[in-house]
A and B are shown apart, each in its own frame.
Chain A
Amino acid sequence: MNQFSEQIAEEYLYDLESERRVLSSMLHNEDACIEAHDALASTDFYSPRNATIFALACSLYEREIHPTYVEIIKEGHGLGLLTHPREVEELKYIAEHYIDDENIKYWIKKVKDKARLRKFEVFLKENYQRLAEMPDQDVEQMLMAAEEQLTNLTALEIDDHVDSPAEMAALGYDEVERRFLRFKEIRELHKGVIPLDGLSTGFENLNHITLGYKPGDLIILGAQTGHGKTAFALHTARTVAVEHGKNMLYLNTEMSRQQIALRWGSILSGIEHDRIRTGEINESELSVILNGYSSLRESGFYSYPCPNLTPEKTISIARKFKAQKNIELMVVDYVGRMEKVDPRLSEWQILEQIVKTQKMLAQNLKIAVMCLVQLNPDGTLQGAKRMKNECDLMLKLAPIPREDREENEEIARYPDANYYLIIEKNRDGRSGVSIPIVFDMQKQSMRDAQRIDQR
């Protein structure tokens, strides 16, 4: 029996070759690091030595040090984890046996599957023991308990969790209580200014309605060509990364590094973009611009210009920046410019696929993801209904029509407003609202329009 169990263990419960393949890929390839860091935990490794090497590699990677063989030796020795020449030999064996088969996902899955099988083995052993120790127990209860355990095992992710009625009730009460206390605090301490649940949007009115961009949120912002998509993205970046110092990643599919850097000059200094671009500025303006860039230097803005962006690439880049910079927001400017993965799909199908990927990414990484999309000339959006289903917040940016300015009394109270920020969908609150804003195209800046009350 024992011999049989050992044989089973060797054949089914662990696969040291797959573990070594994952580790050696991590030592040689950054993409492998990103994949393994995201998908595996040290506890997924059967060999304690392999688990330690994995933990070392992840710890180095999170500090932006590529976990090469040499770096692992340094780190392992420094932490007192490599104390015997035999351990170095084992590590060398892993480093030497790297095969660039571009199949990291396959090896990760094998490691993960074996880890799940080992949990299943523990489940079987525990239940067998329970049966042997307490033969007279309530069968129904025993089966129910076993079923719950098994359900957790079959769930793909370890942290998948089914809420019991009691847990849901407790969670609901906690949330209401938190909001009640916050509302009280607003009235008493903050004199009516609402603290946010997520990242500031850069617009008071939008903050008020949405309570900010929250982790797991997918935000879609649509505008026609030349109507402020990038300006909106960089306005968000200014608020989140420059003013609040939060880390964020900006992916741009159509602008060069220089173009993005120049836009910042205008946004941070308030000097017209055209003049900055042509260099038509005086010395005092140059010093204002320099000042602006110094605040960018201290900010959490990470930019990744990427003309051939694919949904897969966004996943990989976002995981890397989440691991290394703990980003709280990713902005994709813009999804229409992403490479077609499958040329047989039509435009709206591709957009739907991209948006689904981004929503999953936001939830898995617990970050807010903002996707910019291009509106048709008539202001509509292809595949809008499906996109609306996926996102948490759908915004549109459009100029205020002349009729509105002349005939709408409410808009007349905002004399400086020239654009609407329209909330088409808001999963957590009011929608169908048009917020009047000011968009200064020359200075690439945006702000809430000022309301002037009539006497």
Chain B
Amino acid sequence: MQREEKQLYDETASQIADLTLREVISPEEMHFLLTILDLVMIHRDEPELLAFLKQWMQVYKASETDDIIKATLLATDLKDKEIIGTNLNILRGLLEDK
């Protein structure tokens, strides 16, 4: 990891932890965000999931569907590729229906 990348990684992880300790986000949200951070910066894996997250953020409006998508993502075991694949198909459908 390059120096700037490492700085970004450390800073982002600290921010996420800090938000949790200040009770701005829940421990489940922290867990999810930290795992995504590792996926992006360390493992450089799951491009489809990351593409979905970007796509979702562009149309995010805190609607009921958004809440369902968020709850599904938080409940997804990000270590299990099969589950990620299955859930992504469901989530893409939800996003199209928005």
A residues near B (Cβ < 8 Å) are 68-71, 73-74, 77-78, 82-85, 88-89, 92, 95-96
Contacts of B18 in A (CB 8 A): 85, 88
Docked complex Cα distance between A73 and B10 (Å): 11
Contact with A along B61-92 (1 / 0, CB 8 A): 00000000000000000000000000000000
Docked complex Cα distance between A96 and B22 (Å): 22
Docked complex Cα distance between A40 and B17 (Å): 28
CB <8 Å contact, A92 and B10: yes
B residues near A (Cβ < 8 Å) are 6-7, 9-10, 13-14, 16-18, 20-22, 27, 30-31, 34-35, 37-38, 42
Count: A-B pairs, CB below 8 Å = 47
CB <8 Å contact, B34 and A70: yes
Contacts of B34 in A (CB 8 A): 70, 73-74
CB <8 Å contact, A70 and B13: yes
CB <8 Å contact, A96 and B10: yes
CB <8 Å contact, A88 and B14: yes
Docked complex Cα distance between A262 and B12 (Å): 47
CB <8 Å contact, A89 and B21: no
Contacts of B9 in A (CB 8 A): 69
Contacts of A84 in B (CB 8 A): 21
Listed by A's residue number, 13 A-B pairs whose Cβ atoms lie within 8 Å are A69-B9, A69-B13, A70-B34, A70-B37, A70-B38, A70-B42, A73-B16, A73-B17, A74-B31, A92-B13, A92-B14, A95-B13, A96-B6
Contacts of A92 in B (CB 8 A): 10, 13-14
Docked complex Cα distance between A153 and B13 (Å): 41
Contacts of B10 in A (CB 8 A): 69, 92, 95-96
Contacts of B30 in A (CB 8 A): 73-74, 77
CB <8 Å contact, A77 and B20: yes
Contacts of B6 in A (CB 8 A): 96
Contacts of B27 in A (CB 8 A): 77-78
Apart from A88-B18, A92-B14, what 19 extra A-B contacts exist at CB < 8 Å?
A: A68-B38, A69-B13, A70-B34, A70-B35, A70-B37, A70-B38, A71-B38, A73-B30, A74-B30, A74-B31, A77-B20, A77-B30, A78-B27, A82-B21, A85-B18, A85-B22, A88-B17, A95-B13, A96-B7
Docked complex Cα distance between A89 and B30 (Å): 16
Q: Give the distance to chain A from B1, nearest Cβ to Cβ, in Å.
A: 9
Docked complex Cα distance between A73 and B42 (Å): 16
Q: Give the distance to chain B from A101, nearest Cβ to Cβ, in Å.
A: 16
Contacts of A89 in B (CB 8 A): 14
Q: Which single residue of chain A is at the shortest CB-CB distance from B38? A: A70
Docked complex Cα distance between A89 and B34 (Å): 16
Contacts of B35 in A (CB 8 A): 70
CB <8 Å contact, B38 and A85: no
